[in-house]
Structure 1
Amino acid sequence: MIDFSNSCTAPWLVGGDFNSYLALHEKKGGRKVLSRSVLDFQACVSTAGIEDAGFRGSKYTWYNGQKQNGIWSRIDRLFFNAEWTISCPAIQVQHLDKACSDHNPLLISSSTQNKKGPSRFTFQQMWCSHEKFLADSTTAWRMGPASSYPMLNIVQKLKHMRNFYRTWNKEVFGNVSMNIQQAEASFATAQRTYEEENSQMNYTNFIQAKENLEKVLAQEEKLWWQKSRIKWLKDGDHNTKFFHAYAITQRRHSHVSKLHKQDGSVVEGDDKIAAMFVEHFTEAFRSAPHHVRPEILAHIPSLLTEGDNSMLLMSFLNSYEDASGQLINKQKSSFYVPKHATESLIQRIIKTTGFIRAKLPIKYLRVSIYFGRQKPAHFAHIISKTVKMPLKEFIPEDIWNNMTHKDCTVHQAFTNPMRTQLQTALQYCPNQLLSQFLITNEKKDTWIWSSTANGIFSTKSVRSILAPATSQQWAALWSPHTPLKWSVLLWRLMLNIIPVDETIKGKGVPLVSKCSCCSQPQEESALHHFFRSTTTNQIWSELFHLLNFSNMGINAVPDGVTAFLARPEVMATVGRLTHCTFMAVLWEIWCSRNAARQQGKEMSAKHIINRSMFSIRAICTSFKFQKIPQPWLAALRQNESGQVNLKTRIPSIVPWLTPPPGCLKLNVDGAFKMTSGEAGGGGILHDHEGNMCWAFSRAYHDLNSSLAAEALALRDGLSICCSKGITEVLVEADSLNLLQIVTKQTACPWEFACILQHITAKTQNLKAVISHTPREANRVADCLASFAKSYHHLVIWDLWTDLPTLVKEPYHSDKVGYPPIRS
């Protein structure tokens, strides 16, 4: 059977008595062991690539006929190959009742009928590869209905996008099979034209048709990969036939052919199964029996018509006149309705009541009635009278008796800011009264600054407000000697918004908390993770002689971090080293925690201390710290083995340099993964101010080395420069081997001959100067090359805002001149 399956590519099936079962649950009675015959049968089925057709009816197909030592097993079955699954109709196997034999007969039936209910909406990943997907999705999202309630807004938007994608799939994306047929026809035409006439235009059409065909084939692969629901394949095996067969098998397994009731009976047939579902859910959602009291129904009002509403409104107004003894003056009465009220509603109210429509704010008994935010204009008429009142109305009697000019009013106190009555008014008058008076005073505006005794504004008083006594820790936090990422982390710690498990649970997200820094895991909190865990206890104890800091005295993370940063230091250098080391240790603890969570790496106190000291050593070298104390020198010189070796362990700063004024610089890089065979290239073009002109990313296939990816990335970068009309450009790549090949310092491998020919021609046309740059100074191009696997074709960005999120961070670092550190 194995030989036949290898030689036959047509659909076929085989069935009968195989005299062996496949699994232990297919046998009842006797000894349940995986004998040699069972293992051989399993190996045969796996090697031949055939699949069991399943069954309906009895679980077993053979019985030995003995009453005392009865044995039942399933040794009769039907198999078919993958081609049968794809091209032939579904088959069903039913175990009939045995009569004249110890084997159950197998009834094989096939049906082409496929009853399919309403299909559910599924977002297809292949849509993302379409060039209009992002633009059309953005437009559709903005055109969707909106609501002031966030969750309702999301629900309405998602419903709108579901309907949009269904229409967009039919009208724009199209049927995948039809797209493949059209792409194959276009490719065949372009290929024949190029073979007949070898011109540049025909070659370009041939390449475009080839790329289009590869794109639609990749879309088909994604479609069947998603339908098959295979999670153990990372990027597929480029075999849609495999995915097709797997998806059909999944669909066949998900078909409900029979159901078992609670009494043990079996229900078969689509109509009977549907009736059983209806019966089950009808019973599940049926309300409990209840009794309605007739006397309660009498108190439930019936629905009202518009005439009833009008009658009730007039009845209410008449009742008011009878109760108050006052007649309503319709010429002086008015009504208010919301802005979204319809014109027909307004006219009905006017016709019924005879009132006129008024718009807020309105005055009733000289008091403003308004809707929304409070405004000074609502109370201007009251304040104008209040400010004429004497200060005696607001000031305590004992203070008033000691004052001069007892006839001074609120208005007079603010007319001259230098008067002594001003401070008294600021202290005792209501703040709302003073603010409204300053705004509504009809005379010449006078600025009153309440933070000074004389009311005159000064920048010193502003600084005293904006820079309180606790400003020292903020100066240490945002020091120019520390990287911005360290400062941001401590700033988030001081605000208690670091995303540890305790903080996330406090936001209402249920999760099981487990720290990554203890041998016996505990619930993760910021205090435990940074200061109380087993690993951090070891770190702070080893650095106590440098930092003079004890983690056991901290009860709250914000208070502990604030107190440490506000701690005064005798020497400036010691203060900088202390603050930088404290921040570096917290940063490395956080990085190690994330690595333990995401990559399964174990947290190590020694590794965190070494990484922190490497960063401090780079800061000392960059900013040229002077008069470093001896304990710090010993700590910075000590390497992992305990030997003093400062020269070989000092990290260095590798900045990305902007090109000279009037010049452009192109950085390119390639990426290749040996394990998966993925390859890609990317590059970015900067001007002399560091601004991005454009960037590109492209995936490559069928490569076997990173050098090939580097060469293709350089070729594509130069080609884009030529297509955009650039004449002179500086080119940087971090592959020294590629630079030596391009400059002909070493021999060119034969597989790169065509690529090198293109690079040489483009270099001469552009007058390009190619040079080598360290890998740390080529981070943007490296990120673009690594990101290329997300695309199946060439992608060019003209705006930095459209770049992937992972690329924006190194781009901004290069632009502002923040250099990376090579350790």
Structure 2
Amino acid sequence: MGRRRPDGASEAPSGAMNILSWNCRDSVGLSGGLALYWHESLSLDAKAMNSRYIDAYVTAAEGEPPWRLTCVYGEPRTEDRHLMWSLLRDLHQQADMPWMVIGQMIDFRDVLEVCGLDDPGFAGLPYTYDNWRSGRANVKVRLDRAVANNAWAKVEHLVAPSSDHLAILLKCVQEEPPPAMGRRCRQYEVMWERDPSLLVVIMDTWTELGSLLHLGEVADGLKSMMKRLQDWSRKKFGNVIKEINKSRSRLEEHMSMNADRKEIREANDRLNELLYHEEMLWMQRSFIDWLREGDRNTKFFHRKAVWRARKNRIKVLMDDDGVAHKDHDSMAAMATSYFTSLFTADTSLCADPVIDLINSRVTNDMNVQLCAEYTDKEIADALF
């Protein structure tokens, strides 16, 4: 999220400008104001904005048709809500394209019907705001929502352990499953250092290995150490992403059942710790060593690592006949064939004319001496 400058405006996260573009409207003091961030892989054209909305056209990829995104923050005062209603009606008349409106909306039912915007439904908790008070003072309401002119997107309410508002996840495209990867390289994980038993595992492993006398034994010892750490990590940490999903579901279950505040707080703390593990995991994979571990910008690290992997991924290869291949097996076979041919000697070429132009520097006597068997004296001189 952005920071506040002394003049009240919003700043982009430190370092994130390499991966995020941004636009914002000034706040009033330390409250209010809107900020819109988008990934560099998207093309976003901000059309209009004020202190209550940002209207933009979004293109996911080159050649794809754009869709419209309007982020709104509804008027809190009842007597001023007609201003936002009129604004949405005007925006509705400006373009005929897929349209998504997302943000805080109160008493918008009539204007949504006029604009042809429907609630596409959602997954998750039935509210997006919780004031975290106990008893009869607790307020849970669906303040924030997403509406669209067609059911072309999916909406999910994500529990947020450190906010009174739930995050709204908007899924606009069907994500393709990543291709099956080969054997993964084992590596040391920084997040292991969050557990004090790591040092015990390392000490016990080196003690069991005993003294290592040469580099071969050291290399084997390091392999054994990494295998022991991986086994320990699977039992101690498991799959971080899966554990986050389980913990989020557990927190959502506690919140939906109005569980005891102590249980909710424990689930919150557990989710926060797992999110910190995820941050360190992505930080390590992002090759960004100029940000400290405590900067807590997980999305930046994740996007940087994923975008680098996406740019390096080969999606299509064209063979000698001009036929494009997209499936993993065909591209792997083409790559293997190409490099095999590249590094194989061409039998149709004769090197003799070129070799004849080079003056010989090794005589027959020298060649006999070089090809002779090693003598005992030569071996002794080399060893002792």
* TM-score interval (norm. to shorter): 0.3 to 0.5
TM-score, normalised to structure 1's length? Answer: 0.20
Structure holding more helix per residue: 1
Larger relative contact order (C-alpha < 8 A, sep ≥ 6)? 2
Larger Rg belongs to: 1
TM-score, normalised to structure 2's length? Answer: 0.38
Structure holding more strand per residue: 2
